[in-house]
Amino acid sequence: MIDTLLTAYWIEIFATLVILIALLILFLRSDKKPTPREDDLSIKDKINKLGQEYTLLGGVVVPALRGMNRIDYVIVSPYGIFVLTVVHEPGKVRGRERDGEWEIKSGRRRDILYNPLWENRKWVNALEKHLGPQPFIPVVIFTQARLKNDFGKNVIPLSSLPGFIKKHDKPRLFSDKLEEIIKRLKPQDSEER
């Protein structure tokens, strides 16, 4: 009887250990990537930490040559107007700054990514027509991908966003102009901080 109880006891301990090890392996293997929504919250959090002089506007819509452009984010500050193109795809990005297409590889999967700098340029042009000449600062942010080539100073990982913005520290816009720009860009359902 005692042998049976000891055997059952050790089987129970062994089963519990197997389950714990399996859970640990699953936990360590889960390579959970942030969702685009989580990336957007991270962008907002990073901008909020920069201070009150930075106004983040999301989903800014401006007229374009053939319709309308919806710009991911615009940050209005005394140091310039940052125009953000956000790329959420995971993987390793290869290409050159002037290439029309970049390659993004995730595991065995390879995809083509149209040069986001060109889309950003379109957005800056549309903003220029809408607001007139302003100190626009284009920036492309990769939230999950690793950049394997030099794509220029305006293509950065999300973690570098605060440092990139803080490097621009020479005032170029003053409060009356800032208020006017924010008013003209602020959408009805603004994601302003």
Encode 106-137: b = buried (16+ Cβ within 10 Å), e = exposed: eeeeeeebebbbebbeebbebbeebbeebebb
pLDDT of residue 4: 67
pTM: 0.77
What confidence score (pLDDT) does residue 66 get?
Answer: 81
pLDDT tens for each residue of 125-163: 999 999 999 999 999 999 988 898 888 899 999 999 999
pLDDT > 90? residue 12? no
Average pLDDT, the chain: 85
